[in-house]
Structure 1
Amino acid sequence: MTVMKFGGTSVGTASAMKQAMSIVADRATSGAPLVVLSACSGMTNLLIRTSEAAGSGNLREAMECSRQIREHHTAMAAELVRDPERGALLREKVQGYIDELEMLIKGVDIVGELTPRSFDTFCSFGELLSTTIFAAALQEDGHEVVWQDVRQVMITDGNFSSARPIEELCVEAAGRFIAPELESGRIVITQGFVGATQDGRTTTLGRGGSDYTAALLGSWLHAGRIEIWTDVDGVMTCDPRIVPEARSIRVLTFSEAAELAYLGAKVLHPDTIAPAVSKNIPVYVLNSRHPAAKGTVITNDQALLEGMSYGGLVKSIAVKKGQCIINFRSNRMLGRHGFLIEFFSVFAAEGVSVEMISTSEVSVSLTVSDSGAVDRLVRRLQDMGDVEVEHNVATVSVVGDSLRMSRGVSGRIFSALKEVNIRMISQGASEINVGFVIEEREVPQALRDLHHEFFAEGFPGAIFQKPASGRNGE
């Protein structure tokens, strides 16, 4: 059984949805797939804007947003479903969701407060609408389709906007609601980042959670493969918006993919990897605009990895902008046990995650996201030692499983960067990435030089393919 997840740009318009439908229909010839959809591109942002307008008392703006949401989905439904009877039923369903949305808008406006629970309910409408239209269009094309409200299956805690599933309940529900439909040959269409508490309150898993949902459902239902359909030809060797020569990577290990996700690659949500790893389910990153492209397979299957292996060291180069360096120095660190516990407790208290770190006997340099929390951190750290902050920097990470067994990689990296001012260096504990920090303005130069060093034309290319699209994810 295959789990197929389509992102927002893959279902954002009627023509994009038709393309996704043809891909699903093709997969259905070898067994009914489970299809997980995001909201149409731009709709989640519009729903967030709707919620914020309602919460701030701007009823006119909130209702205008609702009108735009209604018009987008009504037009899409009319183009995809032409049968009068089926079309009328679909319009009724779409209007029913819009009516619920507008009731919520008015309720929040009257109360004068946008609660986390209400916010998640606002965000859920995008996927409820996209999946309802997609299921109806597939049915009109003659396929046996079941629309499944994922809130019956994705049972979560009450941590709104970043809820986590209660796994034992979810496994039982997936086996009860989804498995029988797939076994009977019916395509199941469901939502991505939506869930519900045990008492039925709508939650969401956070932005990007639809990838996570697809992987979880694949794990719970013992899928043979998980497909993430996006608008690029898989995971790229580099950001093609910066380096046009970037290529699609044919195969990655789970550890490489997880490392890239956490280090700034935009194709995969970081949490996607864990459920797939637990069952060793291969994850395919594919392009819905060019379904013939091979994309990227993420796997620990040694036979597949060896069949696509090559003589190079590096798989991809990831970049994360919007960072700052915090340089901390204190003689109190010298020979004192427990000082770093005290130091990092400040970050924990402020809820700040450290991205990259380098230490010596009396100093620590690290990177964090450049946000309002940095000023609070600095004030607290100044009571412990000298603090200096460098803004407008980016982390760049060179990733590849072969790095752990290879000599001279660092020499090649930093030789290629002779024209770039490196502010900080960190060797990943996983030993599959070498990271460093540079000024944001020097990112294009650094990426071009590194990509030329490790992925120049003529390099053994069994693992790569030329991209059919120059975009970099959804």
Structure 2
Amino acid sequence: MAVMKFGGTSVGTASAMRQVIAIIAEKRKSETPLVVLSACSGITNKLVKIADTAGAGRLEEALQMAGEVRQFHLDLVGELVGNEALRLELAAKIDAYVTRLERLTEGIEIVGELSERSRDRICSFGELLSTTVFAAALNEAGTHCEWLDIRQVMITDERFGFARPIEAICQAKTEDIIRPKLDSCVVVVTQGYIGATVAGKTTTLGRGGSDLSAALFGAWLHTDSIEIWTDVDGVMTCDPRMVPEARSIRVMTFSEAAELAYLGAKVLHPDTIAPAVKKNIPVYVLNTWHPESKGTLITDDPALLAGKSHGGLVKSIAVRKGQAILNIRSNRMFGRHGFMNELFEVFNRFAVSVEMISSSEVSVSLTVDDAVLDEPFIQALKALGDVEIEHKVATVSVVGDNLRLSKGVAGRIFSSLRNVNLRMISQGASEINVGVVVEENDVPAAVSALHCEFFAESQCAGIFEKPAGS
């Protein structure tokens, strides 16, 4: 038994859906999967815009965008479904969903207020529409499946916009509702990202929530694997848009994958790792457009790692742009205790997350998301000392489990970056990443230099492979 999660680009067009249908049909020959889908690519962003536009009182504009959502999915049906009666049935379902969307939009405009609860309800329509169309197309193509409204199973708390499941209830409902269908060899098609409170109010799990949904169901069902299907050949040694020679990583550990996710890699949502680690379920990151590619296996299972070359010094290079450096200097730090407590109390008060930190006797340097900086926060920091801000910087981190056991890594990193101005240096507490901060304009040069240093041809054999089609 496997959980297969397909992201927005994998179901964003009729041709993409046909590709996914073929992948599921092939999987069905050997096992019965639970299929978890995201909204079609771009639809969630449009739904968020509809909510914001209605909240701003621009009803006509919001309703126009709702009409575009309706037409997009009707066009999908027109391309995917041949049976006329089924087309009419799907058109009626799409119209019913979008009519509800329009009524909700009108209600927001009338009251003049957009609540997080209303936003969640609006955003939920993306997954409901994509899965409705896909399940019908999958059935017509010859793979019998059942569509399931996941809000019957994914019962969450009431933190609208970032809800978390009530695991005892979810696990019981998974056993009662989903497992019997899979045990009867019926493919189940359902939604990621969304859930419902005990009272039945629609919630969302936050961006990246479809990955979390898939991982949770994998854990609750004790599946053999969790497959995350996307539009790249697994986890890459770096962003191939920066370095065309980037390779697909064949195998990596959970700790490496989690570290990469937190440091800016875009393939996996950090929360995806936790349920898989808890049950030691292998996670495969695969390419919808190149299903023959081996992708990336993420596991700590010695049996799965046995015989595989997974000992590369550096596994990948992660980049997080849109950062700012805060340099705080104060003589109060010298030889005294308590200053760091005061400093981080300010960060806690303004809910600002620190990405990287470096300190000396009289100064602290930290990186934060540039977008969170505002005047009240800066003034609160200035009460503690002199504050200097450097905008438009990025963190560049090299990640690998073997870094902690290897000598000379820092020397190789700094030698390769000799032509790049380093604004800050830090080693992660986990000891499996070393990070530097550079100006955003220097990111391509920094990544290219590091990739050249650590991923030479002789080091890639057996550990990395070229992306399919390269």
Does TM, scored on the shorter chain, surpass 0.5? yes
Q: Which residue of 1 aligns with 2:303?
A: 303
| Cα distance in 1, alignment partners of residues 160 and 363 from structure 2 | 39
Contact 1:233 1:469 in 2 (8 A): no
| Cα distance in 1, alignment partners of residues 372 and 400 from structure 2 | 34
Q: Which residue of 2 aligns with 1:156?
A: 156
Describe the shift of the 1:460–1:244 C-alpha distance in structure 2 as closer, same or farther (beyond 3 A).
Answer: closer
Deviation at 1:52, TM superposition (A): 1.4
Matched, 1:223 2:236: no
**Any idea what SS the aligned residue of 1:459 has?**
helix
Contact 2:312 2:463 in 1 (8 A): no
Matched, 1:420 2:401: no
Amino acid at match of 2:347: F
Q: Which residue of 1 aligns with 2:367?
A: 367
Moved more, 377-386 or 226-235: 377-386
Q: Which residue of 2 aligns with 1:328?
A: 328
| Cα distance in 2, alignment partners of residues 330 and 191 from structure 1 | 51
Amino acid at match of 1:452: C
Q: How does 1:166-315 map to 2 (within 5 A)?
A: 166-309=166-309, 312-315=312-315
Amino acid at match of 1:305: L
Contact 2:352 2:372 in 1 (8 A): no
Contact 2:251 2:310 in 1 (8 A): no
Q: Which residue of 2 aligns with 1:120?
A: 120
Q: Which residue of 2 aligns with 1:389?
A: 389
Amino acid at match of 2:99: D
Q: Which residue of 1 aligns with 2:346?
A: 346
Q: How does 1:80-99 map to 2 (within 5 A)?
A: 80-99=80-99
**Any idea what SS the aligned residue of 2:397 has?**
strand
Query: How big is each residue's C-alpha offset from its partner over 1:98-153, in whole Å with a ceiling of 9 and x where there is no partner?
Result: 11111111111221211111111110000000001111111112222111111111
Q: Which residue of 2 aligns with 1:450?
A: 450
| Cα distance in 1, alignment partners of residues 78 and 173 from structure 2 | 33
**Any idea what SS the aligned residue of 2:425 has?**
strand
Amino acid at match of 2:281: I
CA RMSD, 1 decimal = 1.2
Moved more, 379-388 or 233-242: 379-388
**Any idea what SS the aligned residue of 1:324 has?**
strand
Amino acid at match of 2:401: D
Query: How big is each residue's C-alpha offset from its partner over 1:312-370, in whole Å with a ceiling of 9 and x where there is no partner?
Result: 31000001000011111212122322221111010010010000011222221110000
Amino acid at match of 1:404: R
| Cα distance in 2, alignment partners of residues 270 and 176 from structure 1 | 29
Q: Which residue of 2 aligns with 1:432?
A: 432
Deviation at 1:59, TM superposition (A): 1.4
Q: Which residue of 2 aligns with 1:6?
A: 6
Q: Which residue of 1 aligns with 2:464?
A: 464
Contact 1:310 1:460 in 2 (8 A): no
| Cα distance in 1, alignment partners of residues 320 and 306 from structure 2 | 30
Contact 1:154 1:195 in 2 (8 A): yes
Deviation at 1:378, TM superposition (A): 2.1
**Any idea what SS the aligned residue of 1:355 has?**
strand
| Cα distance in 2, alignment partners of residues 460 and 211 from structure 1 | 29
Describe the shift of the 1:110–1:374 C-alpha distance in structure 2 as closer, same or farther (beyond 3 A).
Answer: closer
| Cα distance in 2, alignment partners of residues 427 and 401 from structure 1 | 13
Q: Which residue of 2 aligns with 1:20?
A: 20
| Cα distance in 2, alignment partners of residues 269 and 19 from structure 1 | 24
Deviation at 1:469, TM superposition (A): 6.5
| Cα distance in 2, alignment partners of residues 84 and 20 from structure 1 | 22
| Cα distance in 2, alignment partners of residues 399 and 451 from structure 1 | 12
Unaligned residue ranges in structure 2 (runs of 5+): none
Contact 1:330 1:362 in 2 (8 A): yes
Deviation at 1:374, TM superposition (A): 4.5
Contact 1:231 1:469 in 2 (8 A): no
Deviation at 1:386, TM superposition (A): 1.5
Query: How big is each residue's C-alpha offset from its partner over 1:170-206, in whole Å with a ceiling of 9 and x where there is no partner?
Result: 1111111111100000000110100111101101011
Contact 2:229 2:285 in 1 (8 A): yes
Amino acid at match of 1:255: S
Query: How big is each residue's C-alpha offset from its partner over 1:65-100, in whole Å with a ceiling of 9 and x where there is no partner?
Result: 111111110111122121122222222111111111
Unaligned residue ranges in structure 1 (runs of 5+): none
Describe the shift of the 1:103–1:227 C-alpha distance in structure 2 as closer, same or farther (beyond 3 A).
Answer: same
TM-score, with normalisation over the residues of structure 1?
0.97
Describe the shift of the 1:303–1:125 C-alpha distance in structure 2 as closer, same or farther (beyond 3 A).
Answer: same
Length, aligned pairs only: 470
**Any idea what SS the aligned residue of 2:343 has?**
helix
Q: Which residue of 2 aligns with 1:137?
A: 137
Describe the shift of the 1:469–1:168 C-alpha distance in structure 2 as closer, same or farther (beyond 3 A).
Answer: farther
**Any idea what SS the aligned residue of 2:457 has?**
coil
TM-score, with normalisation over the residues of structure 2?
0.98
Q: Which residue of 1 aligns with 2:108?
A: 108
| Cα distance in 2, alignment partners of residues 469 and 443 from structure 1 | 26
Deviation at 1:398, TM superposition (A): 0.4
Moved more, 226-235 or 49-58: 49-58
